[in-house]
A and B are shown apart, each in its own frame.
Chain A
Amino acid sequence: MRSENAKPLLEVRGVQKHFHIRAAAGRPAGTLRAVDGVSLTLGAGETLGVVGESGCGKSTLARLIVGLLEPTGGSIEIDGGDIWEPGEAGAKRRRNFQMVFQNPSGSMNPRRTVGASVAEPLQARGIRKTDDEVARMLTLVGLNPKMAARMPHQMSGGQQQRASIARALIANPKLVVHDEAVASLDISLQAQILNLLVELQERLGTSYVFISHDLAAVQAISHRVMVMYLGEVVETATASVFAASPRHPYSIALRNATLLPDPVLENGRSGLVLRGDVPSPMNPPSGCRFRTRCPLAEERCAAGAPPLRDTGDGHLVACHFPDAAERLARKSAVESLAEAFA
């Protein structure tokens, strides 16, 4: 259930993570601005989908939220408290988070039984008798409780991922971060896992941060969507608004590039196809970081980075052109006409 209360569960303010890369054979020194000023809020029982491509920083953001990495700037608060407060206070807050990883077989210890791995978060809290809880969780994720005695390699990829989810939820965390949780699964399994995640959220009230490069998967389970590019947020909106009217050129390009499994619709689409490659996060373009690939780029885009502005109803966009969507539509219409006459 989505909470309508005023205070959000998770509040991230301007969080930054910079890595200092030392010079090595064939590489000069530099600063990798993996996450460069990201802010977001998340309520209880809500899912925020974070989408972006390589170098956008979403995996680093995942690790920052969960507390695996300490930010070099900004703050992360849960229930109003800083998760990096020194001592026990901060540590206690960080225990509210759990993570589900991309590679199901790699994220479980191959030398321990599935039951032992699932029980780990409870054991880390000093709870000894875990068998009942483990059985309960396994059933909840759709696995036979007898699987607790199996070793990870004796299970299929889909089953392993379910076990990972059981492990993430067993200690009742307030928030679970899913980092490409369905990316390495077969497509017939992805829907199963996505459905399971939604069902568990409704039952347990856990919040999710769902990170993926696949906009379709994000849209299937998120209440709100956040798009990242080169360490920054370029757009945030509710899922329905984002689907109906994205406003940032990059979001539009991303949507266009996400193919529809429908030949009639897919080949009827025309739209922005980005040229060139993603710039290196070690050396992002000045001003608006997207300007090197943006068909609308003008001088002011190089001069200064656009702030993340609220265009109404919590729809935040970082672009100098408030009417970017319309401009792009006009542009592609003109181009299609030109092609037709060519």
Chain B
Amino acid sequence: MIKLLLARLGAMLAVLLAVSVLVFAMGSLIPGDLTSVIVGQEGATEEQFAKVRADLGLDKPLAVQYVRWLGQALQGDFGTSPITGRNVTADLAQQIPVSVELALLCLFFSTLLGLPAGILAAVHANRRLDVLIRSQLLIAFSVPTFVVGILVLLVGSRVAPDLFRMSFTAWSQDPMAHIRSMVMPLLTITIPITAMTMQMTRSAMLEVLGDPFIVTARASGVRLKRIYYLHALRNALPPIITFIGFQFGVMLGGLIVVEQIFSLPGLGRGMLEAISTRDYPMVTATTLVFAVSFVLINALIDMLYPVLDPRQRPR
């Protein structure tokens, strides 16, 4: 078992390394380097250019730059943003919790709603309840996030103006206000994820419900509810949790639209700003955060399989 885990860990580290190389390489391919951004275009002399370049270490070969960058990144030091003048790591540290919270809450609610909906849909497959569930959720899913977000804003401001709060408030400042500021973005993003969770659950359950051991359980007199939620669901879980993990990884960066509409200071919005201001250190650092979290989550999900499925445990 240990061997298995170590092998998975090793694979994960290899992927992370490859990702870091890729991110760094892309960063260095951007036309015009950091120097011109800092020094500015006009009235710069050759010596000023050379000095800034040396300061930044950009005169060294790429490989050396990469190692230096990686070394610093591993210590949590991404340097200072030439655009904002702030420490990149500090900025990230503020953005990450916001996105993570939104993503986790979204996953929690969408699983809470989507899983039972999917099971119900599978049990009543192709009958009225199933068609109802699927059609409603798929309609919701088909509407683009920004449209939903704006609709939610509009409706929210009319219907429940005091529940409706534009500006984000941190938990540490005012818990109630914080909750209120998260309600609408959560609503916006949870709808499509619930729809997808429902769909995944439905198809995974349908497959399992067609298996002969379900008939054995019924022939033994086990109650239907127990068969669905215990006997069948356990078998359907692997694809469902794979999906949920994947969604979480995607969401961290994919919340850009929602964060922008509701002005939440998360990673998505941070990334958007960094790109538009050509804040390269910020861009590369954020990309690395996305990539690392995605790989980590998937590795974690991977390690869950032997727990769920005894056939994958070592004999």
A282 to chain B, nearest CB (A): 12
Instruction: Map CB proximity to A onto B293-307 as digits: 1 under 8 Å, 0 otherwise.
Output: 000000000000010
Q: Does A303 contact B (CB under 8 A)?
A: no
Interface CB pairs A-B, < 8 A, 15: A25-B4, A25-B306, A25-B311, A25-B312, A25-B313, A25-B314, A26-B306, A26-B311, A26-B312, A26-B313, A26-B314, A26-B315, A27-B314, A27-B315, A28-B315
> Using Cβ atoms and an 8 Å threshold, which residues of chain A touch B315?
26-28
Instruction: Map CB proximity to B onto A1-35 as digits: 1 under 8 Å, 0 otherwise.
Output: 00000000000000000000000011110000000
> Using Cβ atoms and an 8 Å threshold, which residues of chain A touch B314?
25-27
A27 CA to B306 CA, complexed, in Å: 13
Q: Which residue of B lies closest to A24 (CB)?
A: B312
Closest 8 CB pairs of A and B: A25-B312, A26-B314, A26-B315, A26-B313, A26-B312, A26-B311, A27-B315, A25-B306
Contact surface of A with B, Cβ cutoff 8 Å: 25-28
Q: Which residue of A lies closest to B312 (CB)?
A: A25
> Using Cβ atoms and an 8 Å threshold, which residues of chain A touch B4?
25
A25 CA to B313 CA, complexed, in Å: 6
A190 CA to B306 CA, complexed, in Å: 44
A25 CA to B308 CA, complexed, in Å: 13
> Using Cβ atoms and an 8 Å threshold, which residues of chain B touch A26?
306, 311-315
A26 CA to B3 CA, complexed, in Å: 12
Instruction: Map CB proximity to A onto B207-235 as digits: 1 under 8 Å, 0 otherwise.
Output: 00000000000000000000000000000
A27 CA to B314 CA, complexed, in Å: 6
A28 CA to B306 CA, complexed, in Å: 16
A280 to chain B, nearest CB (A): 12
A29 to chain B, nearest CB (A): 12
Contact residues of B between 261 and 315, Cβ < 8 Å to A: 306, 311-315
A26 CA to B306 CA, complexed, in Å: 9
A101 CA to B188 CA, complexed, in Å: 56
> Using Cβ atoms and an 8 Å threshold, which residues of chain B touch A27?
314-315
> Using Cβ atoms and an 8 Å threshold, which residues of chain B touch A28?
315
> Using Cβ atoms and an 8 Å threshold, which residues of chain A touch B312?
25-26
Contact residues of B between 76 and 134, Cβ < 8 Å to A: none
Instruction: Map CB proximity to A onto B55-71 as digits: 1 under 8 Å, 0 otherwise.
Output: 00000000000000000
Q: Which of A26, A27, A28 has the most CB of B within 10 A?
A: A26
A170 CA to B218 CA, complexed, in Å: 50
A25 CA to B306 CA, complexed, in Å: 8
> Using Cβ atoms and an 8 Å threshold, which residues of chain B touch A25?
4, 306, 311-314
> Using Cβ atoms and an 8 Å threshold, which residues of chain A touch B311?
25-26
A215 to chain B, nearest CB (A): 28
Contact residues of B between 161 and 216, Cβ < 8 Å to A: none
A139 to chain B, nearest CB (A): 41
Q: Which residue of A lies closest to B3 (CB)?
A: A23
Instruction: Map CB proximity to A onto B2-29 as digits: 1 under 8 Å, 0 otherwise.
Output: 0010000000000000000000000000
A27 CA to B312 CA, complexed, in Å: 9
**Other 7 A-B pairs with CB < 8 A, given A26-B311, A26-B315:** A25-B306, A25-B311, A25-B313, A26-B312, A26-B314, A27-B315, A28-B315
> Using Cβ atoms and an 8 Å threshold, which residues of chain A touch B306?
25-26
A28 CA to B312 CA, complexed, in Å: 12
> Using Cβ atoms and an 8 Å threshold, which residues of chain A touch B313?
25-26
Q: Which residue of A lies closest to B305 (CB)?
A: A25
A117 CA to B146 CA, complexed, in Å: 54
A26 to chain B, nearest CB (A): 5
Q: Which residue of A lies closest to B310 (CB)?
A: A26
B149 to chain A, nearest CB (A): 43
A26 CA to B310 CA, complexed, in Å: 9
A26 CA to B312 CA, complexed, in Å: 5
B310 to chain A, nearest CB (A): 8
A28 CA to B3 CA, complexed, in Å: 12
Q: Which residue of A lies closest to B4 (CB)?
A: A25
B263 to chain A, nearest CB (A): 46
Q: Which residue of B lies closest to A27 (CB)?
A: B315
Q: Which residue of B lies closest to A28 (CB)?
A: B315
Q: Which residue of A lies closest to B306 (CB)?
A: A25
B127 to chain A, nearest CB (A): 28
A89 to chain B, nearest CB (A): 45
B116 to chain A, nearest CB (A): 31
A254 CA to B41 CA, complexed, in Å: 91
B10 to chain A, nearest CB (A): 15
B185 to chain A, nearest CB (A): 40
A25 CA to B303 CA, complexed, in Å: 11
B311 to chain A, nearest CB (A): 6
B3 to chain A, nearest CB (A): 9
B41 to chain A, nearest CB (A): 58
B5 to chain A, nearest CB (A): 12
A28 CA to B4 CA, complexed, in Å: 12
A305 CA to B312 CA, complexed, in Å: 36
A25 CA to B311 CA, complexed, in Å: 8
A94 CA to B313 CA, complexed, in Å: 42
A27 CA to B4 CA, complexed, in Å: 11
B242 to chain A, nearest CB (A): 15
Q: Which residue of B lies closest to A25 (CB)?
A: B312
A25 CA to B315 CA, complexed, in Å: 9
A25 CA to B304 CA, complexed, in Å: 13
A304 CA to B107 CA, complexed, in Å: 63
A21 to chain B, nearest CB (A): 13
A28 CA to B314 CA, complexed, in Å: 8
B307 to chain A, nearest CB (A): 12
